[in-house]
Amino acid sequence: MATAAPQFPNVPTRGRALPAFGIVGWRWISRNPAVAITPVLLPFIFLYFLSLISPPSLLPLEIIGAMLFTMQNIGSWTLGDSAFWRIECSLQDMFVASPLSRIRYLFGIAFSNLIAMLPALVILLVLLMWVGGQHGYPFTPLAAVALFAGLFALWILFSSIGIAISSRIQTQREIWPVGNLTFTFLGMLSPLYYPISALPLLWQDVARFFPTTYAALLVQGALGITPATPLQMAFYAALLGISAIAGLAITLRLYRWGDR
């Protein structure tokens, strides 16, 4: 059986997945203006609504929530793309037959969707620095590290959840409801837009099973919005890592690549 390497000996087969999917992500948003605008506007629409109904003191916390929710929402877009390419375009068969591994495929789609979300994240970051500074929560190097660690963990975890669910979807009609239900529900259970103390006790206990909760608590603690000792911060970081790894392990088990 012929393989790509002997036929095309001068074509590199490594290190090309991320740039290729990066171009896919860029082409997708550059050809569809609403696709570029929607991920940028949606967090702000929600943030605007929340700022009207909640005390102004919660605004920095809500901006962090919008950033984490935007990152979590990449999972929904990853689910949509992956399912669309597999069901409508039958592209996954081609990827399975190529040297591309399923993990690189996952990172590729996650990366292409990250490109669409980057403008929203950058604007929210600038807003957080400005509003946080006004409310007495300066954006320190520790806050930056905590924020980027939280965003990175959620990006990987929710993209893998999205792709794992997408590999089980049978028709295009299921994509929108399944994605919407899963990611909105997960986002709502975690205290992204309000302090965890505002939730009923039972809900607080349930929320502690979700990595997004620890990402939120870690970033809120690093900025000083929700007081936390260094030991508590380390605890949140460890639980974020453990729950993310556990979630990743489960989703990779569910993720179907070439067996169907």
Stretch that binds other proteins, among 17-25, 41-49, 147-155, 213-221 (CB under 8 A): 41-49
Using CB under 8 A, pick the residue from 1, 2, 11, 52 that binds other proteins. 52
CA 130 to chain centre: 24
Q: Minimal distance in Å, beta carbon 154 to other proteins?
A: 18
- Pick the binder of other proteins from 18, 20, 24, 35 (CB under 8 A): 35
CB count in 10 Å sphere of residue 4: 12
Contacting range for other proteins; rule: CB under 8 A; set: 17-25, 40-48, 131-139, 221-229: 40-48
Per CB under 8 A, 172 contacts other proteins: yes
Least CB distance from residue 127 to other proteins, whole Å? Answer: 17
| Cα angle 245, 95, 164; round to 5 | 30
Residue 190 CA to residue 213 CA, distance in Å, equals: 5
Binding test (CB under 8 A) with other proteins, winner from 17, 25, 58, 114: 58
Question: Quick one: tokens of 259?
Answer: 């067996």
| Amino acid residing at 131 | V
Among 26, 194, 210, 257, binds other proteins (CB under 8 A): 194
| Number of residues this chain uses to bind other proteins (CB under 8 A) | 38
* Segment contacting other proteins by CB under 8 A, of 16-24, 120-128, 143-151, 191-199: 191-199
Measured CA to CA, the distance from residue 132 to residue 61 in angstroms comes to 9
Report the residue number, 94 or 249, with the smaller CB distance to other proteins: 94
Provide the 10 A C-beta neighbour count for residue 98. 12
The DSSP line for 79-146 is: HHHHHHHHHTS-HHHHHHHSS--HHHHHHHHHHHHHHHHHHHHHHHHHHHHHHHHHTT----HHHHHH
Stretch that binds other proteins, among 3-11, 103-111, 182-190, 222-230 (CB under 8 A): 182-190
Q: What is the spatial distance between Cα 84 and Cα 87, in angstroms, rounded to a whole number?
A: 5
Among 11, 185, 201, 229, binds other proteins (CB under 8 A): 185
Block residue for tokens 């996954």: 92
Sites for other proteins among residues 67-126 (CB under 8 A): 80-81, 84, 88
Contact with other proteins (CB under 8 A) among 30, 57, 134, 180 = 180
Look up tokens 């696709």; give the residue. 35
Q: Work out which of 5, 23, 181, 234 binds other proteins, going by CB under 8 A.
A: 181
| Closest distance to other proteins from the beta carbon of 53 (Å) | 4
Per-residue DSSP letter, 192:
S
What's the per-residue H, E or C state across 113-126? HHHHHHHHHHHHHH
In the complex, the residues that contact other proteins under the rule CB under 8 A are 32, 34-35, 37-39, 41-42, 45-46, 48-50, 52-55, 58, 80-81, 84, 88, 172-178, 180-181, 184-185, 188, 193-194, 198-199
